[in-house]
Amino acid sequence: MAFVDKYGPWALITGASAGIGAEFAHQLAVRGLNVALVARRGERLEALAEDIELKHDVRTLAIVADLTAADFLDTITAALDTRHVGLLVNNAGSGFTGAFLDHDLDAELNMLALNCRAPLILAHHFGRRMRDHRRGGIIMLASIAGIVPTPLFAHYSATKAWNRFLGEGLHEELARDGVDVVSLCPGLTRSEFFEHANVDPSGWPAPLRATIMTPKHVVKAGLKGLGKHSQVVPGLSYRMLMRASRLAPGSLPPWIVDRVMRFALPRTH
């Protein structure tokens, strides 16, 4: 089945105003899907929508919504009206590094709402409609931090493990309904995420900086894996790292990551 027949006519992309989400919007438009773009910064969404409509023969819809708001689904469904979403990209997410006990609990709860509550509600709502149509796709943005527990990023890492598990479980469960689900697990990817996470790679050694990927690479890998795999880890170096971590005794990978994080985040430790 052609991509647009399987996953069209509309893709809903959360966190489309920047980074990986904006790149998803571009690459899905290239594949012929209309794109509904969700984020808080409306002017960014409007500019992206205009750019996409200029370059591709698709329609766009900008939906300004805060995904941590209790009623965000109402905002999205009202804006979509009768448009059918055949592909959900649960991409919006945020995280901040540093000592867990020094963080403000409200900020952690806000991250939990954005990274877990919102994708859960969206997957449930749009998954039901995809099941009714016996076709569709859901992409869950996890992370390699959702594969290896990450000290000094512990709660974020846990939220990404949650997304990875939900995606991989649903991959098997929804296959019978004709719905493809994949957990996309990028490593370091250049975007606004670094700034929010309080990460500054400029002082890192060149081999570590060389592992930083582009959103283009990540999205291409994710779309290639949709309908084929339950989990995608973009980049050969990250795939090798993940394989090695699976072979190591359970406590070793977090121990190593703890040392790397303390080195990479000198301002927090």
Ligand X SMILES: NC(=O)c1ccc[n+]([C@@H]2O[C@H](COP(=O)([O-])OP(=O)(O)OC[C@H]3O[C@@H](n4cnc5c(N)ncnc54)[C@H](OP(=O)(O)O)[C@@H]3O)[C@@H](O)[C@H]2O)c1
Q: Which of 13, 25, 39, 264 binds ligand X (CB under 6 A)?
A: 39
The window from 147-155, 171-179, 184-192, 229-237 that contacts ligand X (CB under 6 A) reads: 184-192
The window from 63-71, 121-129, 175-183, 251-259 that contacts ligand X (CB under 6 A) reads: 63-71
66 binds ligand X (CB under 6 A): yes
17 binds ligand X (CB under 6 A): yes
- 88: which 2 tokens? 């959900």
Query: What is the bridge-based pairing of β-strands 34-39 and 85-90?
Result: unpaired
265 binds ligand X (CB under 6 A): no
- By beta-carbon proximity to ligand X, the closer residue of 134 and 224 is 224
Which residue among the candidates 7, 160, 228, 238 is catalytic per the annotation? 160
- 7 belongs to the catalytic site: no
129 binds ligand X (CB under 6 A): no
- 119: which 2 tokens? 């994708």
Cβ–Cβ < 8 Å for 215, 22: yes
166 binds ligand X (CB under 6 A): no
Cβ–Cβ < 8 Å for 175, 137: no
Residue 246's CB: how many other CB atoms inside 10 A?
10
Within 8 A by CB and 6+ apart from 61, the residues are 10, 34, 35, 36, 37, 49, 79, 80, 83
- By beta-carbon proximity to ligand X, the closer residue of 34 and 183 is 183
- DSSP H or E stretch at residue 61: strand 60-64
The residues of the shown chain that bind ligand X, judged by CB under 6 A, are: 15-21, 39-41, 44, 66-68, 91-95, 114, 141, 143, 186, 188-189, 191-193, 196
Write out the catalytic residue numbers. Answer: 156, 160
